[in-house]
Structure 1
Amino acid sequence: MTRAALPAASAEMPPRSRWRTHQRRLAPWLFLAPGLAMFAVYVVSPIFQSMWISLYDWDGLGEKVWIGAANYAELMDDDAFYTSLWNNVLWLVLYMLSVPAGLMMAIFLNQTIRGMRLYKSMFFFPFVISQVVVGLIFSWFYAPDFGLLYQLIEWLTGTGVAILADDRYVTYGIIAAGLWPQIAYVMILYLTGLNNVATDQIEAARLDGAKGWRMLWHVVLPQLRPATFIAVVVTVIGALRSFDLVSVMTDGGPYGSSRVLSFYMYEQALSEYGYRMGYGAAIAVVLFAIMMIFISGFIWKMWRDERER
């Protein structure tokens, strides 16, 4: 009878012993719980609320009026929306220049030469200053009459160009301003990645005669995949949520030609021109969908590459 009773006694484990058994499995979730709760309340919930609001005609204060997909149907005939969307495409394509530019700067600054800390501080400086300050600096840089770029173009061609007042060049001028701190950010990511590159693989490649571009492409870049993934993701997000510089430098002008989706969303939902919360939410949903398509694609590619290794 004693032997038969043993399994039953062991099955009825006291709560304290059960907690100790599962403590290692439960502890990470307990540490993650506050962060997950904050993420659910302040990120996930507003996303679904925006989707819900986009189905209403609402000024933010009065009563909501259900209109279904009418806001999205209106977007399809809105020229300002297509202008904003096209400008976001330009931002996305040209912002990707920050990834190779940041990599080249990181490789240059990864050398052990005298005064390199000073050079690193100078290249790091654009990242630590506010986007508003960046916008003001470049507004003065482009300014007619006294702007350095304006005077340089006038000296070379005889006629100055007011970058921010010309609808042909304004978006490119704002993107150039945004690239300045973005390149510095990508450079920092790659500098961190270069510190983790295996030196034994570098030495082995040198013994095999690899150098220059062959060394970079076949030895260094494969080890920088995590840094490249993060750099691409933050660059895509930065390009699609480009609001600060547009607001500071042009306020969407001239004639709305420099609008992007995030600025147009603000203009429709919160500025004196709109107070159309439902329409602004519809623009936000479209922007979120575009962002998720790109980020999901990058995550899927990285997951597939990890499985193939």
Structure 2
Amino acid sequence: MSVTPTTPTETRSWYYRNQQAITPWLFLAPGILFFAVYVIVPIFQSFSISLYEWDGLGTAEYVGLRNYEDLYWEFVDRDAFFVSLKNNVIWLVMYLLAIPAGLFIALFLNQTVTGIRLYKSLFFFPFVISQVVVGLVFSWFYDPTFGLLNSFLGVFGLGPVNVLGNENLVTYGIIFAGLWPQTAYCMILYLTGLNAVDPEQIEAGRLDNAKGLKMLWYIILPQLRPATFIAFVVTIIGALRSFDLISIMTGGGPFGSSRVLAYYMFEVALSEYGFRMGYGAAIAVVLFVIMMGFIAYFLWSMYREEKGAH
């Protein structure tokens, strides 16, 4: 009776034969687990809580979509939810100015200029300081009695302007404060992207007499698409989840005119509105849907561009 010899591969364990495919997932497993527990699960919990009337301690009462109906009527009546959503739209539009500003600062800092390291440190500084510090600095800057802004206006004979006390100016004043560190962040993204720009393409562009804006538009910007995509996503998320500066600088005032969805959610769920957790969760769901809509759009746009390139 003959015995068929077994090859060394057949005698090895299943893991040994599939380790190239399995090992990356083993390294990713802790990160995936933490992401699922601390991100994915809370998202579904927010959806669930938004269907209840709950104060966070007692028994939750199922109310279906009533919290969303209340939000709708607040929007129709131009109440707190409408003001918060309108301010978020203003934040979103104005915050996008950080992207071109960061790009042009990065283009300047990418040059070989005397003292460029000092310039880089000065522009990088806003990114490393806390949002609380930024809020305090700009609160002093806008102060109508001793603030630098009104001291500067006084040189031209202009009266003091109470930016944070004016319902029409307060949102723009806070956004201007937020643009300071956000521009620094976009600058860092573009500086990293500029280091990866292919010098051969630049030389080829120069041979074709591409200079200035033509060089920027046709040669450099196409190579900065990954950095631009990240800058857009991060800036949009930062604009929609703005909370720190509003809490520090105005507390939602004056008369609730500077509140945004994230701050209104905090007020409703944990502050002066009687711990309405379900209502706060409904606001969080609306904010999440808006945020995911923008991110999905940019992901789809990038996918189409990559598909078209191949």
Measured against the shorter chain, the TM-score band is over 0.9
The reply to whether residue 86 of structure 1 matches residue 82 of structure 2 is no
C-alpha deviation, 1:42, in angstroms: 0.3
Q: Which of residues 10, 13, 20 is equivalent to 2:10?
A: 13
Query: Residue 167 of structure 1 contacts residue 257 of structure 1 at CA under 8 Å; is this kept in 2?
Result: yes
The reply to whether residue 52 of structure 1 matches residue 48 of structure 2 is yes
Q: Distance in 1 between matches of 2:121 and 2:238?
A: 23
Q: Distance in 2 between matches of 1:165 and 1:151?
A: 17
Q: Distance in 2 between matches of 1:273 and 1:34?
A: 39
The reply to whether residue 39 of structure 1 matches residue 14 of structure 2 is no
- 211-220 or 267-276: bigger deviation: 267-276
Report 1:145-164 matches (<5 A).
145-164=145-164
C-alpha deviation, 1:148, in angstroms: 1.1
C-alpha deviation, 1:2, in angstroms: 5.0
% identical equivalent positions = 63
Query: Residue 126 of structure 2 contacts residue 181 of structure 2 at CA under 8 Å; is this kept in 1?
Result: yes
C-alpha deviation, 1:157, in angstroms: 4.9
Aligned twin of 1:167: 167
The reply to whether residue 262 of structure 1 matches residue 248 of structure 2 is no
Query: Residue 154 of structure 1 contacts residue 161 of structure 1 at CA under 8 Å; is this kept in 2?
Result: no
C-alpha deviation, 1:207, in angstroms: 1.0
Query: Residue 9 of structure 2 contacts residue 17 of structure 2 at CA under 8 Å; is this kept in 1?
Result: no
Which sections of structure 2, spanning at least 5 residues, go unmatched?
none
Which amino acid letter does the alignment assign opposite residue 251 of structure 1?
G
What is the TM-score when the length of structure 2 is the normalising length? 0.95
Which amino acid letter does the alignment assign opposite residue 64 of structure 1?
A
Which amino acid letter does the alignment assign opposite residue 77 of structure 1?
W
Query: Residue 110 of structure 2 contacts residue 194 of structure 2 at CA under 8 Å; is this kept in 1?
Result: yes
Q: Distance in 2 between matches of 1:103 and 1:124?
A: 13
Q: Secondary structure at the match of 1:76?
A: helix
Q: Secondary structure at the match of 2:10?
A: coil
C-alpha deviation, 1:158, in angstroms: 3.0
Which amino acid letter does the alignment assign opposite residue 31 of structure 1?
F
Q: Give 4+ residue runs of structure 1 displaced > 4 Å after superposition.
A: 9-12
Q: Distance in 2 between matches of 1:215 and 1:185?
A: 24
Report 1:22-33 matches (<5 A).
22-33=18-29
The reply to whether residue 304 of structure 1 matches residue 300 of structure 2 is no
Which amino acid letter does the alignment assign opposite residue 10 of structure 2?
M
Which sections of structure 1, spanning at least 5 residues, go unmatched?
none
Report 1:129-144 matches (<5 A).
129-144=129-144
Which amino acid letter does the alignment assign opposite residue 283 of structure 1?
I
Question: C-alpha deviations, 1:267-307, integer Å up to 9, x for none?
Answer: 00011333110000000000000000000000111011001
Aligned twin of 1:66: 62
Q: Distance in 2 between matches of 1:2 and 1:159?
A: 105
The reply to whether residue 248 of structure 1 matches residue 239 of structure 2 is no
Q: Secondary structure at the match of 2:174?
A: helix
Report 1:72-111 matches (<5 A).
72-78=68-74, 79-111=79-111
Q: Distance in 2 between matches of 1:52 and 1:140?
A: 42
Aligned twin of 1:126: 126
Which amino acid letter does the alignment assign opposite residue 28 of structure 2?
L
Report 1:190-205 matches (<5 A).
190-205=190-205
C-alpha deviation, 1:19, in angstroms: 2.1
Count of residues in Structure 1 that have an aligned counterpart in Structure 2? 305
- 148-157 or 221-230: bigger deviation: 148-157
Query: Residue 84 of structure 1 contacts residue 264 of structure 1 at CA under 8 Å; is this kept in 2?
Result: yes
Q: Distance in 2 between matches of 1:10 and 1:268?
A: 68
Q: Distance in 2 between matches of 1:39 and 1:46?
A: 10
C-alpha deviation, 1:11, in angstroms: 11
Which amino acid letter does the alignment assign opposite residue 89 of structure 1?
V
Which amino acid letter does the alignment assign opposite residue 103 of structure 2?
L
Q: Distance in 2 between matches of 1:12 and 1:133?
A: 62
Which amino acid letter does the alignment assign opposite residue 192 of structure 1?
T
Question: C-alpha deviations, 1:163-182, integer Å up to 9, x for none?
Answer: 00000000000000000000
Aligned twin of 1:213: 213
- 84-93 or 265-274: bigger deviation: 265-274
Q: Distance in 2 between matches of 1:288 and 1:220?
A: 34
